[in-house]
């Protein structure tokens, strides 16, 4: 049986914030973002049959308050950030590499708040990510996307807290910095989130 023939077993793939706004050339670019987007697209195409559900999340900011640093304020890149993920703009859409992904559900987050975790968003029907997963009978989740140190970390921790067997596929995510990535992996592992490469998933 090949990987593409593997039957789904209550597992979801959660693709976190793979948007041009977080990739090279975007408003809040993470180095390696474009390469990760391409790698996720390849992985999803090859392994789609192994998932019952594929869900994307997107930063979709309208007016997130103090999350944005506006002139003359200088962003501290901890609590305040340059404007990014602006609702309705091309850079807030899914990365072009994911054009053929056809997710089963799409969650948008952060219209009027910071919202790092995908579990803070809702889909087009107003369902939270937790509701989407529960209604699909999901018991385990693989989390990928941008950035490992921020929204991927927060989403994976919330998935684990919800009782899902949660893995972060470490080669399908990228941190804001090496130091923050290391700190995130330590926190995730300590919480019980499994860290594996996609080839081991």
Q: Name the residues annotated as catalytic.
A: 17, 109, 151
Please provide the DSSP assignment of 26-43 as one string: STT--TTHHHHHHHHHHH
Task: Tell me which long-range contacts 71-74 makes (C-beta under 8 A, separation of at least 24).
Answer: none
CA–CA gap between residue 30 and residue 93 (Å, rounded): 16
Please provide the DSSP assignment of 47-68 as one string: HGGG-SEEEEEEE-BS--GGGB
CA angle 33/30/36 to nearest 5° reads: 15
Residues 6 or more apart whose CB falls under 8 angstroms from that of 31 comprise 24, 174
Please provide the DSSP assignment of 109-140 as one string: E-SSS---SGGG-B-TTS-BHHHHHHHTT--E
Please tell me whether the peptide bond between 188 and the residue prior to it is cis, using omega within 30 degrees of 0. no
């Amino acid at each position: 049986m090949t990987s593409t023939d593997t039957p789904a077993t209550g597992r979801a793939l959660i693709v976190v914030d793979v948007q041009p706004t977080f990739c090279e050339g975007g408003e809040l670019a993470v180095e390696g973002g474009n390469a990760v987007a391409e790698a996720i697209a390849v992985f999803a195409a090859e392994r789609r049959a192994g998932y019952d559900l594929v869900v994307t999340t997107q930063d979709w900011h309208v007016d997130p308050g103090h999350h944005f640093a506006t002139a003359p304020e200088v962003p501290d890149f901890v609590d305040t950030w340059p404007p990014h993920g602006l609702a309705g703009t091309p850079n807030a859409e899914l990365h072009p590499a994911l054009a053929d992904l056809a997710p089963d559900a799409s969650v948008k987050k952060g219209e009027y708040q910071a919202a790092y975790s995908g579990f803070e968003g809702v889909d087009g029907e107003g369902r939270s990510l937790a509701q989407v997963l529960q209604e699909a009978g999901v018991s385990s989740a693989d989390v990928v996307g941008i950035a490992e140190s921020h929204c991927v970390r927060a989403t994976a921790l919330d998935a684990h807290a919800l009782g899902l067997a949660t893995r972060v596929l470490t080669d399908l995510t990228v941190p804001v910095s090496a130091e923050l990535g290391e700190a995130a992996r330590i926190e995730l592992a300590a919480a019980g989130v499994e860290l594996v490469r996609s080839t081991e998933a």
